[in-house]
Structure formats: structure tokens, C-alpha cells
Amino acid sequence: MILWINPILSSVPSYPTQYPSKLTRICHSSLPNIPKQSLVNFRCDLYDLHNELVPYVEAWSWQNAIVKEKKALSQNNEDLADSLIILQHHPVYTLGAGSSEEYLNFDVKDAPFDLYRTERGGEVTYHGPGQLVMYPIINLRRYKMDLHWYLRALEEVVIRALSSAFAIEASRIEGLTGVWVGNKKLAAIGIKVSQWISYHGLALNVTTDITPFQRIVPCGIQDRQVGTIKGLLKENSQYKVGGEDNRVTTNDFELIDITHKALITEFCEVFQVDIGVNLYKDEAVKFLHFTMLSH
């Protein structure tokens, strides 16, 4: 059974699903510059749960609560720092608002894991342990009111993180959304933007068991594989852990920690933000629950 849960917000128009075109060429185009409005970086509050397995619907509710708060403040001409949530999920399949069930290789009434239809763009994907999920909840009026630019910026965060942390040269593929190494997709992206406030985000496979991807057609792309950072490190000795004497590691906890630090660093660089409040584990959960309950 597909569950459609609207945790906080009333119904809002969904961002159109993007249907991928056929592979044409690898795209190495540079990211457009963010228009700076001041010499001071914007502030972004970090909710760091990178070692925690969070139920999908709970994180979804947190996002909606923060979005609602930001929209209310914006209507009153007040402002609120941007937010960044980084975590892992218990195994779950999610569909975009316009996703087709033809990409599910199972009966929706007997799904192997929870299955949710969300308001994000894109087709079906899987989230689970070993995959870092990053939810930026930011006011795009501060940056660039262009959804395609925002998608490319999220891709840039992952591309830079893979390069700086592991010397992995990842790229975009023209006509597709996400981050690739050769024929393997390492990061999926699906967003929703309401009144120029973004939510949902990106998922990067670090040490993920990719078996559950076999039960779906990930992102609706039939002829491509899913990859992980750990898998690439095992396959190719040229990939190293940056700044650690060219040391290779395949330890799951270490890979998650290295990757999450790189993602945060590169997010700050790409979006030109400084981390304000930095909450970990219990503190982050307590604050996010409070935000949700207060709305």
C-alpha cells in the first residue's frame, strides 16, 4: 500500500516530475555563481544526525514544520536562518508526486518496506542505512530563484565532496539529475520548492546495501546502475581518503563520518553559508520535535 502522509502542510502544488532523457554526454559544466548580496555569508543551522537511523515520516514532518515556520516569518517580513538536516533512514521506498508505479517491481499492497508518495519531484528511490541524506531547507530568494540552478548546485556539493574526500571524479550526465561515476549513480536528488523555500534534497550512497534497489527502477532510469562510495573504493585503488596519507579505508563508520564532513564543508562553500547552530543527536531531535509540535 502506498501511503500519502501530509505531516504538517496543507496541499501545495507539486514541483513537476522531471522525466530523464537518454544519455547524451557527460556534462562538466561549471556551476553559475551565487549572487552575493553582502560581504557576510548567510547563516545555516545544522541538525547533524548522520549516525542516526531516522524514520522517513518523522524527518518528513520535521521538514514541513521548518518550511511552515520559514514561510510564516517571510510573510511577516521577518527572516530565519537556513536549515540543513543530515541523517540516515530506516529502509523505505519513496515516490515523487508524479511518480509512476510501473517502476516498482513489487505489488504495492505487499511492499518489502514502507512506501510513501511524497510531494518531491522525481521517480521512485530507496533510502536505507549507509546512505547519507541531506535535506537543505533554504530560502532561494537569497541565492537564485531558479530550480534548475538549485538542482545543479546540489549536484555540485556531491561532486566536490567526492573529489575532496576520496579523489573520486564524479560528474553530471546531461538530461539526467544526480551524480555519476561512469555508469553508476551515486547520488539521487529530488526536491520540492514552495514560495521559494526548498525541502527534500539529496541522497548519497556511502556504504549502502544496494540490493533493495533491485526491487525498483531507480529514478525511472532503466539502463543505469546504482553505486556506492565503498564499492568504488574496493574496485579502484586510485581512490584515496584525502588528507590521510593517501590511505584507503572501507570501514563503514569511518566512511560515513568522512563523507558527512565533506558534504557539510562543500555545502557551505557552494552556497556560501556559515554554520550557525550546530545540534547533534539528542539535541537535534529534541529541537526538531519541538518545532514540529509548535506548528
- Catalytic machinery residues: 219
Q: Reduced to 3 states, what is the DSSP secondary structure of residue 274?
A: strand
Beta-sheet strand order (sheet of 92-95)? 114-117, 92-95, 125-127
Asked whether the CA dihedral 243, 168, 31, 125 is positive or negative, the reply is negative
Q: CA 170, CA 160: separation in Å to the nearest integer?
A: 8
Rounded to a whole number of angstroms, the CA Rg of the chain reads 18
Kindly give, in sequence order, each residue whose CB lies less than 8 Å from that of residue 130, ignoring residues fewer than 6 positions away: 88, 205, 206, 207, 208, 209, 228, 230, 252, 256
Q: CA 209, CA 131: separation in Å to the nearest integer?
A: 9
